Each structure stands twice: as structure tokens, then as C-alpha cells.
Amino acid sequence: MQWAEVLQDPSLQDLPYKIELNEWGQIVMSPASNRHGRFQCRVANLIENGMGHGMTITECSIDTDAGVKVADVAWCSDGFMAQYGDQTPFPVAPELCVEVVSPSNSERQLQWKMALYFARGAKECWLVGETGGLRIFTAQGERADSSFGIEIPERFGWVG
């Protein structure tokens, strides 16, 4: 199955699941909770306020070597948007890709997904844990702060 077919299929509209394609074109779905959506919004706001330019996208589809993956949140520079606009899925990864960790995600799966984003050009990936903790990665590994200069508060107030 191709991503355009997924987007056009009426039976896949309005599902309470995140939909991706694996490397064989098979649909993979994972349920999303309201907590997951809340974390997506909060991290998107943090990025938008911290960057002051570019565009933040939730549920950002990216064509990877293992099928179409959907970053929970992504930040795209003005140059990225000028080049790719509303292309769906993006053929390359935006500069910053964020995954909000779900109970079904394993550390191995998240590392694999970040590697796919890095292989497509992402400069940084963030993992937001179930308690709101934030981990920042580049292709070289985990780091203490964002290379984008976004000030990350010590306490997000995301829990509760």
C-alpha cells in the first residue's frame, strides 16, 4: 500500500490510532491516548516558542527506508518548508523529530525509529517519556541540551 492510498481510504479516517506503513507497505496502527495528545501539544508549543521561526507539525509523515513513519511532532525550518511544502509524506526528515513514548514502545523500537529519521536527515530527535521527561539525541548519541538553542525548563509541569 502507498501512503496516498492510506490518506484516501475512508475506512481509515477518524480512527483513534496513529497509522504508519512498514517496509512492506502494511499498515501498522498504535492507539493514542489523550495524555499522548496533550504531550504532543505541549512539546509543539515549547518548540514554536523556542524557535520563533519555521513551522511545527504534529503527526508528520516521513518516507523512510522502513516505510512511512509518523513523528508525533516535527519542526521544519523555513528553507525546509520552501523546498517540501505540504508534500506528503516528506521524502526527507525535518530537522527536529519528536516521539512521545507510548506504553507499547520499547527502547529498541524508539532507537530504531530515530535512526530512520537520522538516515533521512534529521539533526535532532527528542523522546518525551510517559511522565513528561525529555531526552535529546543527535546521530552521535544522547546529549544534555538541544543543539537548536531551545531552552528546556527543568520542570515542564506535564504530569497530572
Residue 133: predicted pLDDT: 83
The DSSP secondary-structure symbol of 12 reads G
How far, in Å, CA of 38 to CA of 63, rounded?
A: 25
Name the pairing type of β-strands 96-100 and 124-128.
parallel
3-state helix, strand, coil in the chain (%, to 5): 30, 30, 40
Average pLDDT over residues 6-12: 71
Locate 90 and state its grid cell: 516528506
How confident is the model over 39-54, as a mean pLDDT?
A: 91
Q: Domains plus CATH for the chain?
A: 32-143 (3.90.1570.10)
Q: Examine the pLDDT at 160 and tell me if it is beyond 50.
A: no
Q: Has residue 156 got a pLDDT over 60? A: no
List phi, psi (to 5°) of 96. Answer: -130, 125
Q: Are 144 and 136 in contact (CB under 8 A)?
A: yes
What is the mean pLDDT of the segment spanning 38-51?
A: 90
Q: Which three cell numbers stand for residue 66?
A: 522502513
pLDDT tens figures, 87-146: 999 999 999 999 998 877 889 999 999 999 999 999 999 999 877 788 999 999 999 999
- The residue with cell 496513529 is 18
Nearest 10 degrees: Cα torsion 65, 66, 71, 75: 0
Average confidence score pLDDT of the chain: 86
